[in-house]
A and B are shown apart, each in its own frame.
Chain A
Amino acid sequence: MIPSVQIKGVREGLLVTLGDGDWPAMLAALLSHIDKQVDFLRGGKIYIDVGSQVLHAIELSRLRDAVSERGLNLWGVLSNSPTTEQTAQLLGLATRLSRPSRQTQFRESSAPDTNLQDGEAAVMVRRTLRSGYSLRHANHVVVIGDVNPGAEIIAGGSVVVWGKLRGVVHAGSEGDTNATVSALDFSPTQLRIAGEIAQFAGKRGKPQPESARIVDDKVVVEAWNPGKK
C-alpha cells in the first residue's frame, strides 16, 4: 500500500496531511511527493499533520532538515500524540495552524471537563521549562524544576511547581475558579486563574513556598504554612 499524502493550501501556508502507516515509509512518501513538485513548493511554509504518529526529537529534526534541504520551511507539526506535540514544541515548531482562540485551546480529543477533582489525571514534567517553551495540558500540571521567564504553562486545572516559578501561568484556563497555583519560589511574570489576572512586581525578600487561588473574584497569594490549614 502506498501511504497517502495530501497537500492543500491554507491561509497560513501549505498543510500536508499524512495517512496512517509506518513512519519511514510515510517520510519517504512525503519527500518524494515534495520532490515531484519542488519548483511549485519551494520557499513555502508547510505544516504537517502527522496524525497519531509518535515522533521523537531525532525523527522530527530529520524531517525538518529533509524539508529545509528541499527549500521549504517546516513551520509546524500537528499531531494527536502528546509526545509528538511536546517534541515539536521543543524544536520550536508550531503545533497548530494559528493562535488558538480561548475556546479551542485544546484539541477535542483531550477536551477537559471543567470540574476537576482531586486525584484526577495530571501531567508531571521533570525538567526546567526555559524561555519559549509552552506547556499546555487539559488537566493539572506538576513541574519538578524551574519555570523560567518567557516560558508558559496553560493548564485546565491546577499548577504545582517544585522549583522557581518565574514565567507565565494560566491555571483553570477553561474557567475552573477552584484551580490553584503553587510554587516553592513564587514570582511569576504573570499569573492567571480562570478569568482573573495578577501581576507580580520584582523580587520580594526571601523566597518562600506560596500558593495562589481565587477568593471573592480576586487572586490571593498566601504563604504555604503546613502547620495551619
Chain B
Amino acid sequence: MAAKVITITSGKGGVGKTTATANLAVALASMGDKVVCIDADIGLRNLDVVLGLENRIVYDLVDIVEGRCRLRQAMIRDKRLSDLYLIPAAQTRDKTAVSPNDMVRLCNELRPDYHFILIDSPAGIERGFRNSIAPSDSVVVITNPEVSAVRDADRIIGLVEAEEKGPAQLIINRLKPEMVKRGDMLAIDDVLELLAVDLLGIVPEDDQVLMAGNRGNPVAFDSKGLAGQAFRNIARRLKGEQVPFIDLAKNDGLFGRITRIFRPGGY
C-alpha cells in the first residue's frame, strides 16, 4: 500500500495547520483511504482536541519512541470513520523528546499498511519542524492572506527546498472574499506571485470551522459548508484528481451569495 507521508506546516502559528490536518484526514478517510495523523507538536498538542479524541489518549508519540508501548497501542481509531487513526503528541514533554530519525523510522513502520500519513507540524523552524519534515514525501504549507503569514510561509518554503523535500504546495486558509474585493486583504494572485509554488486550495473564512473544532467534529464531516467543501476538494487534489477551484469571488451581490448558500454543490 505504501503510504504517502504529507507534512502540514506554516512557520507562523495560528494559521490553521491543525484544523487543516484534521479536516484533510477526515476528508481522505471518508473517501475510503486509510489515514494516520501524527501530532508532532509535542508539549502543545491540539490535534486530538480538534478531532474529538482527547479523552481516549492512553499512549502517545513519545511513549512509542521511548519504547513504552507498541506503535499500534498508541494509535487511536476514530469511532465515526474506521479508517482514521491518530497518534497523539505527548503533553508533558518537549520537542527534543523525539528526533528526526525517530520520525523516519515510525513512518517507515506505518507506510505498508496505510494510504496517507499526515503530520501536523508545530509552528516555528526549530526541532519540531525538522522532526515533522524529516519523513515527509511532500510538504503542504498553510498560510493566511496576511503579510506576516506569507513572509513566514516564504521562509518555510525556502527551508523545505533546502531539505530537498521537493516543491512545497500551498493552501491559503481563512480567505475573506469580500475583503479581497475591497482591497483590504492580500489577493490570491499577490500571494502566489511572491511564493511561486503550486496552489493546492483556498479555504474561505468560515465561523463553522472554529465551532466545529471546539466540538471536536471537523467541518469536513459535513459536505455542505464552503470550508468543508474546500477541504474535501483539497483532499481529492492530494489523491491526484483534477478538481476545479471553488470560485469564491463570483457573482458577489448579496443575492448571489444567498443563492449559493441555498444551493449546496453548486459552487
Contacts and interface: CB of A to CB of B under 8 A. Distances in A.
B185 interface: no
A61 interface: yes
B180 interface: no
A14 B162 CA distance: 25
A150 B99 contact: no
Contacts of B157: 130
A60 to B, nearest CB: 9
A66 B66 CA distance: 17
Q: Is the interface of A mostly helix, strand, loop or mixed?
A: loop
Contacts of A132: 154-155, 158-159
B101 A146 contact: no
Contacts of B134: 65
Interface in B108-141: 125, 127, 130, 134
Given A128-B196, A146-B196, A148-B194, 12 more contacts: A65-B134, A68-B96, A90-B158, A91-B162, A91-B163, A92-B125, A92-B162, A132-B158, A133-B158, A148-B154, A149-B194, A150-B155
Most-contacted residue by chain B among A131, A150, A166 (CB, 10 A): A131
A71 interface: yes
Contacts, number: 59
B241 interface: no
Interface of A: 57-58, 61, 64-65, 68-69, 71, 73, 87, 90-92, 128, 130-133, 146, 148-150, 166
The number of chain B residues touching the other chain, given as a range, is 20 to 34
A91 B133 CA distance: 13
The 4 closest A-B pairs by CB, nearest first: A130-B158, A90-B162, A131-B154, A131-B155
A150 B159 contact: no
Contacts of B101: 65, 69
A74 to B, nearest CB: 11
Nearest to B134: A65
A223 B61 CA distance: 58
Contacts of A150: 151, 154-155
Contacts of A61: 163
B86 to A, nearest CB: 26
Contacts of B100: 65, 68-69
Interface residue SS majority, chain B: helix
B158 to A, nearest CB: 3
Contacts of A68: 96, 99-100, 127, 130
23 contacts: A57-B163, A58-B164, A65-B101, A65-B130, A68-B99, A68-B127, A68-B130, A69-B99, A71-B96, A90-B161, A90-B162, A91-B159, A92-B159, A130-B161, A131-B158, A132-B154, A132-B155, A133-B158, A148-B154, A148-B194, A150-B151, A150-B154, A150-B155
B152 interface: yes
A96 B2 CA distance: 42
B127 A57 contact: no
Contacts of A73: 127
Contact of A57 (B99, B151, B152, B164): B164
Contacts of B96: 68, 71
Interface in B138-186: 151-152, 154-155, 157-159, 161-164
Contacts of B163: 57, 61, 91
A68 B102 CA distance: 12
Contacts of A130: 154-155, 157-158, 161
